[in-house]
Amino acid sequence: MKYKTLLLIAITSLLLSCSKDEGYGGLATITGKVYGKDYNSNGVLVSENYLGGAKVYIGVHGSSTPFDDIDTSYDGTFRFEYLQKGTYDIWVFGDCDSCSWDQTYVLQTVEISSKKSSVTMEDLIITF
């Protein structure tokens, strides 16, 4: 009987002590804004402002596969909630057909170091 009780306690301890990977299930948040610069075909800046409706992606650091995405609000803000401790990549795609430089996406790496962190990123600046 003692053997079964000890075995049950050991198995329960192992299951409860497993670490969680990055992703949803926590209490941390990442917030930021997307800023856009509009260039004409001559490469001249026509306008710039925070962008509403831009799709922002989040994934585990080092992985090219996002586990979620969100559209920015009218003022360019976005917020990923319920994250666990870990390192995340946040990215957004630019779209500037007339630019002489190639800009396919802008990526920033963000570290959440505690369970209830609230991290505010630098602006993600894209061209369109």
pLDDT, tens only, 77-104: 999 999 999 999 999 988 766 555 566 7
Total domains, the chain: 1
Q: Does residue 6 lie within any of the structural domains?
A: no
pLDDT value at residue 18: 44
Beta bridge partners of 60: 88
Domain that holds residue 34: 22-127
What pTM, to 2 d.p., does this model score? 0.77
Please name the residues in contact with 84: beta carbons below 8 A apart, sequence gap of 6 or more.
Answer: 20, 21, 22, 23, 24, 25, 26, 28, 112, 115
pLDDT, tens only, 1-53: 665 554 445 455 544 444 445 566 889 999 999 999 988 888 889 999 999 99
Q: Does residue 76 lie within any of the structural domains?
A: yes
